[in-house]
């Protein structure tokens, strides 16, 4: 038997949760042709994987690489971690479907989290957006139909309920997006315009999604809680599942500083909902703090109309004073213990890595005033991350909690990666390597369980056909890594450092990474 690639003598962890087995893997064209003893076979290329793990490519279920992939399709931050499929547009934040009028507006609004991808591209539909990634990226790309663009196209960047014609337009856009290949509907209820919607409006969206069998991916509500079922949070997500029978996927559901070692409290509402028959899955990442863009710190009325109107409000002294008063009253999204990760201009590039409090002190103004000043100067092209706790024991407990969660069969991994800026959150370069490397070894978690959560689990949940397992007929998305020495090297101080121990990565039967270096081959497809 003849193959394009023959991977010999590796320890195959096939993604199904089965125990590792010594086996060969034969690749022909895009797919895995044979898994077994291929000692008598020949191939154009032979890789000896003795002493290494051979696993399916990792699927990142929560990636903000939407813009980064359009800027640089090589995407070394993800592919060198073994991520062969990025699911983009979580949190309801992305750039499609958007008209030629709305695309530049929302592009600028999201520039702190997505960077600034090309202006003159067609993002008018999910179908058009998918063409911008297909065969133009090193990894496969799947996308959600996102709440933000759909709402903007239906009623603008305005705090108005969807009713009548605007609701019908939104539901039609969602239906079309799902038909065109979106893997579910996403919303982030800490962001705008998503948070303008109340629970009942979200239920209307999910009545459409339910018909397709595709899930809702939801970042739990923190803003406009008065519009939500019993104050938002996990109970709102559960209520949506209860009222629609739709599949629910909870984004980055984990412990944080202050809630570490309280997994029972975290999981009780999930397990109670499951006993009701509500179909829930969840995701996590192995870091104690996250990252975002500073729009999350402002009340809803500040966002209306988009970037131009926001900047106008920031620069009007009387309105700015009202904004500052409103920010101080907010119970959520207080700008503390954070540092800049991404500054768009050369003028202020030195601010990357500077803590909010330190910069405000230097400027002799409040943190809130500092935020507004930087956002105006950067035309909103700026992002931030949290500062991790000083307590090593707190950090370690959160890591332990994450690994305990990943032992559950309803969990998977979503990096929440934002691969833009000079000092991004380290998860953009290290999330998956950290889990299969130092944390797996530190907490002695079965490798077959972790691999299943990173591969088959997301493939099944999001309908990624013939991906997520090393089985005959599956697409040859494969990672070959040193199980004993694989480690992340990305840190909060030096985040743009690639992992070690991930030697080879295949995407659709082509080598995207060879001997730990990217090949330049762009074999990724828009999936499913």
Average pLDDT in the chain:
96
Query: Using H for helix, E for strand and C for coil, what is the string for 7-67?
Result: EEEEEECCCCCCCCEEEEEEEECCEEEEEECCCCCEEEEEEECCCCEEEECEEEEEECCHH
Contact 124, 100 (CB under 8 A): yes
Q: How confident is residue 332, by pLDDT bands cut at 50, 70 and 90?
A: low
Lowest-pLDDT choice from 230-239, 445-454, 486-495: 230-239
pLDDT tens figures, 236-284: 999 999 999 999 999 999 999 999 999 999 999 999 999 999 999 999 9
Query: Using H for helix, E for strand and C for coil, what is the string for 230-297?
Result: HHCHHHHHHHHHHHHCCCEEECCCCCCCCCCCCHHHHHHHHHHHHHCCCCEEEEECCCCCCEECHHHH
Lowest-pLDDT choice from 21-35, 151-165, 219-233, 302-316: 219-233
Average pLDDT rounded to a whole number, residues 313-321: 97
pLDDT tens figures, 394-440: 999 999 999 999 999 999 999 999 999 999 999 999 999 999 999 99
- DSSP state letters, 350-391: GGTT-BHHHHHHHHTS-HHHHHHHHHHHTTT-EEEEEPPPS-
According to DSSP, the residues that pair with 328 across neighbouring strands are none
Average pLDDT rounded to a whole number, residues 501-517: 98
Contact 121, 70 (CB under 8 A): yes
Domains of the chain: 56-289+389-461+471-514 (3.20.20.140), 292-386 (no CATH)
Give me the pLDDT at residue 460, please: 98
pLDDT tens figures, 136-174: 999 999 999 999 999 999 999 999 999 999 999 999 999
pLDDT tens figures, 82-96: 999 999 999 999 999
Please give the span between the terminal C-alpha atoms of the chain, in angstroms, as a whole number: 29
199 three-class SS: helix
Residue with tokens 């002493």: 51
Average pLDDT rounded to a whole number, residues 434-459: 98
Contact 419, 77 (CB under 8 A): yes
Token code pair at residue 58: 């990792």
Residue 192 is given by DSSP the state T
Is residue 333 pLDDT above 70, yes or no?
A: no
Give me the pLDDT at residue 328, please: 85
Average pLDDT rounded to a whole number, residues 333-348: 91
Q: How confident is residue 231, by pLDDT bands cut at 50, 70 and 90?
A: confident
Give me the pLDDT at residue 87, please: 98
Q: How confident is residue 331, by pLDDT bands cut at 50, 70 and 90?
A: low
Give me the pLDDT at residue 1, please: 82
Contacts for 375 with CB less than 8 Å, ≥ 6 apart: 294, 310, 311, 314, 382
Longest dimension (CA), the chain: 79
Strand-pair category, 517-518 with 510-514: antiparallel
Give me the pLDDT at residue 341, please: 97
According to DSSP, the residues that pair with 130 across neighbouring strands are none
């Amino acid at each position: 038997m003849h193959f394009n690639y023959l991977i010999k003598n590796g320890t195959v962890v096939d993604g199904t949760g089965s125990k590792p087995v010594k086996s060969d893997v034969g690749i022909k064209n895009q797919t895995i042709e044979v898994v077994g003893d291929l000692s008598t076979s020949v191939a154009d290329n032979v890789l000896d994987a003795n002493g290494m793990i051979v696993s399916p490519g990792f699927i990142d279920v929560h990636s903000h690489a939407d813009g980064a992939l359009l800027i640089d399709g090589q995407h070394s931050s993800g592919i060198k971690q073994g991520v062969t499929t990025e699911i983009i547009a979580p949190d309801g934040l992305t750039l499609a479907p958007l008209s030629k009028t709305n695309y530049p507006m929302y592009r600028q609004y999201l520039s702190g989290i997505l960077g600034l991808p090309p202006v003159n591209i067609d993002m008018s539909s999910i179908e058009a957006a998918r063409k911008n990634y297909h065969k133009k990226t090193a990894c496969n790309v799947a996308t959600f139909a996102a709440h933000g663009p759909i709402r903007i196209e239906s009623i603008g960047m305005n705090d108005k309920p969807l009713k009548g014609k605007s609701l019908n337009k939104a539901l039609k856009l969602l239906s079309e997006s799902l038909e065109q290949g979106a893997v579910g509907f996403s919303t982030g209820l800490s962001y705008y315009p998503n948070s303008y919607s109340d629970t009942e409006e979200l239920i209307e969206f999910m009545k459409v999604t339910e018909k397709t069998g595709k899930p809702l991916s939801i970042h739990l509500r923190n803003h406009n809680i008065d519009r939500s079922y019993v104050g938002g949070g996990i109970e709102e997500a559960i209520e949506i599942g209860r009222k629609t029978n739709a599949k629910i996927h909870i984004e980055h559901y984990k412990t944080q500083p202050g809630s570490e070692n309280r997994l029972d409290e975290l999981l009780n509402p999930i397990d109670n909902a499951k006993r009701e028959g509500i179909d829930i899955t969840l995701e996590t990442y192995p870091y104690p703090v996250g990252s975002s863009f500073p729009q999350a710190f402002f009340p809803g009325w500040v966002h209306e109309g988009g970037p131009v109107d926001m900047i106008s409000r920031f620069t009007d002294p009387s309105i700015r004073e009202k904004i500052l008063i409103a920010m101080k009253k907010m119970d959520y999204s207080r700008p503390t213990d954070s540092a800049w990760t991404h500054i768009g201009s050369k003028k202020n590039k030195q601010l990357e890595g500077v803590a909010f409090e330190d910069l405000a002190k230097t400027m002799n103004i409040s943190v809130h005033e500092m935020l507004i000043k930087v956002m105006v100067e950067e035309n909103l092209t700026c992002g931030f991350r949290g500062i991790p706790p000083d307590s090593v024991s707190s950090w370690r407990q959160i890591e332990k909690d994450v690994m305990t969660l990943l032992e559950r069969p309803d969990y998977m991994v979503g990096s929440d990666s934002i691969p833009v800026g000079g000092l991004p959150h380290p998860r953009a370069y290290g999330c998956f390597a950290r889990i299969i490397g130092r944390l797996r070894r530190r907490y002695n978690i079965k490798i077959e369980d972790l691999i299943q959560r990173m591969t088959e689990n997301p493939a099944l949940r999001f309908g990624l056909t013939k991906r997520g397992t090393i089985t005959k007929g599956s697409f040859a998305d494969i990672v070959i890594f040193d199980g004993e020495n694989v480690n992340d090297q990305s840190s909060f101080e030096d985040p743009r450092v690639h992992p070690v121990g991930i030697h080879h990565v295949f995407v659709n039967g082509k080598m995207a990474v060879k001997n730990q270096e990217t090949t330049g081959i762009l074999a990724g497809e828009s999936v499913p």
